[in-house]
Amino acid sequence: MSANSNQPVTPFQPPLRLLMGPGPSDVHPRVLSAMARPTIGHLDPAFVGMMDEVKNLLQYAFRTTNDLTLAISGPGSAGMEACFVNLVEPGDTVVVCINGVFGNRMKENVERCGATAVVVEEPWGKPVDLARAEAALTAHPGAKALAFVHAETSTGVESDAAGLCALATRHGALSIVDTVTSLGGIPVQVDRWGADAVYSGSQKCLSCTPGLSPATFSPRAVEVVKTRKTKVQSWFLDLSLLIAYWGGGAKRAYHHTAPVNALYGLHESLVMLREEGLEAAWGRHAHMHRALKAGLEAMGLNLLVDEAARLPQLNAVLVPEGIDEAAVRAQLLARYGLEIGAGLGTLAGKVWRIGLMGQSATPRHVIACLGALESVLTGMGAPIPPGAGTAAASSVLF
């Protein structure tokens, strides 16, 4: 017996939370109960049929007809890595736009592929600058790809994906786009953008549990994968093998054991998105953001990001002078079961991140968050006009 055999062994019962951080968002009981359906084999004809539906539903969510549209069997960071290791070879140059945590992670990925990352950096809280991205592409003719984050989860900023993908195409480069926080919350238009490799996460605006990374690849990207000079450095993420698995229909070639129940959950969350309709989901996120913003401003709180580049689903709120931001989050969690996010990197201690993603983008979330914030901030001596936040939000909600 190992040294820890005296530890208590009891089932884990999670506390009830309202998830309004940067993800995961609240998961609907329909999705949770789908995940509890009996496991079947990953080669069962019934399961293979469900995978085809997941592919169709992801094509709908991404607005694409790309045949290679799938869920990578890992979290968003595995999806990111799938894009880089398949498209980038040693010696390549990739222009990477960095305006937050996830752009930095892209740079790491490029370098670990043995390629050179040319960085276009913006201050955190600002969108990627198209002119500077274009200058980098011009200065590095033959760059293999332009990589950027559509919706920076660390700051709440949207960059111009259509414009950046068009730049890439014009310079003969592939585009690699992070839509982890955007898919399902704001327009993601893979085909209209002409994007080449796009990945997302299951636990943000799709409101599925974390652990899967929806991804889609253009025919041009598939051609690049098929004509590589070197083998993909990851066996697990090698698209030439995954194509045979996800694209094979009845003749699906065994690659790895799919995360069966997690895919039940993703399927259900996509069915719910389809029932609501993409445009309606985008509209709901925008509406809830307007209500939250009205409430925050009525309480004297300000958002970090300029309106033009502000994501509705991820609100970076400036911490007022003299307030201990960690204590506020701890009290929100302990008293009201409400989770909001901390700032990351250069924004640590300076902002809170309030998510309105998927099933967490509802009137009850907006009101609960504003009410809890008022309670906690008032308790700390902040001068909040009583009821101002919820009243302002209500007027937007009704």
- What is the footprint of a second copy within residues 238-277 (CB under 8 A)? 254-262, 264-265, 267-268, 271, 274-275
Nearest Cα neighbor of 67 from 221, 202, 181, 176 is 221
Retrieve residue 268's tokens.
């259900």
We find the least distance from the C-beta atom of residue 212 to a second copy, in angstroms, to be 8
Toward a second copy, which CB reaches closer, 79 or 125? Answer: 79
Q: Is 354 helix (H, G, I), strand (E, B) or coil?
A: strand
Decide whether 225 or 299 has the Cβ nearer to a second copy: 225
Q: For the purposes of burial, counting CB atoms within 10 Å of the CB of 70, is it exposed (0-12), middle (13-18) or buried (19 or more)?
A: buried
Interatomic CA distance for residues 126 and 117, integer angstroms? 20
Question: Closer to a second copy at the Cβ: 74 or 300?
Answer: 74
- In contact, 171 and 143? CB cutoff 8 Å: yes
- Closest CB to a second copy among 170 and 256? 256
Q: How far is the CB of 131 from a second copy (least distance, A)?
A: 30
Which residue is listed with tokens 């929100």? Answer: 332
Residue 307 in 3-state DSSP? helix
3 or 131: CB nearest a second copy: 3
Which CB sits closer to a second copy, 271 or 323? 271
Provide the minimum distance between the beta carbon of 125 and a second copy in the complex, in angstroms, as a whole number: 19
- β partners of residue 386: none
Q: Which is nearer to a second copy, 108 or 297 (CB)?
A: 108
Which residues does 42 contact at the CB level (< 8 Å), separation at least 6? 257, 258, 260
Cross-strand bridge partners of residue 95: 118, 146
Report the candidate in 165, 138, 137, 169 with the shortest Cα–Cα distance to residue 150: 165
Query: Which region among 166-174, 225-233, 283-291, 365-373 touches a second copy (by CB under 8 A)?
Result: 225-233
The distance of closest approach from Cβ of residue 256 to a second copy in the complex, given in angstroms and rounded to an integer, is 4
What character string, x for contact with a second copy (CB under 8 A) and - otherwise, covers 274-313?
xx--------------------------------------
Contacting a second copy within 46-85 (CB under 8 A): 46-47, 50, 53, 56-57, 59-60, 63-65, 73-78, 80-81, 85
Binding to a second copy, residues 83-112 (CB under 8 A) = 85, 105, 108-109, 111-112
* Residue from the set 99, 181, 209, 218 that interacts with a second copy by CB under 8 A: 209
Among residues 67 and 121, whose Cβ is nearest to a second copy?
Answer: 67
**Chosen residue from 170, 220, 226, 231 binding a second copy by CB under 8 A:** 231
Give the nearer residue to a second copy in terms of CB position, either 12 or 398: 12
How remote is the C-alpha of 159 from its chain's centroid?
14
Residue 115: CB atoms within 10 A of its CB come to: 20
Report yes or no: 181 and 314 within 8 Å, Cβ to Cβ: yes
Determine the residue type at 88: V
Q: Which residue in 100, 127, 184, 201 binds a second copy (CB under 8 A)?
A: 201
- Cα-only R_g, the chain: 22
Q: How far is the CB of 381 from a second copy (least distance, A)?
A: 26
Q: Which is nearer to a second copy, 160 or 339 (CB)?
A: 339
Q: Please tell me whether residue 122 binds a second copy under the rule CB under 8 A.
A: no
Q: Are 217 and 196 in contact (CB under 8 A)?
A: yes
Q: Which of 196, 325, 339, 374 binds a second copy (CB under 8 A)?
A: 339
Contacts of 105 (CB under 8 A, 6+ apart): 77, 80
Cα–Cα distance, 307 to 188 (Å, whole number):
19
Q: What is the three-class DSSP state of 230?
A: coil
Structure tokens at 196: 């080449």
Considering only 129, 163, 234, 287, the residue that binds a second copy (CB under 8 A) is 234
Show contacts with a second copy in window 148-177 (CB under 8 A).
none
What b-and-e string marks burial along 339-365, b requiring 16 or more CB atoms within 10 Å of the CB?
bbbbbbeebeebbbbbbbbbbbbebeb
- Residues within window 13-32 making contact with a second copy, judged by CB under 8 A: 13-17, 19, 21, 23-24, 26-27, 30, 32
Count of residues of this chain found to bind a second copy when the rule CB under 8 A is applied? 93
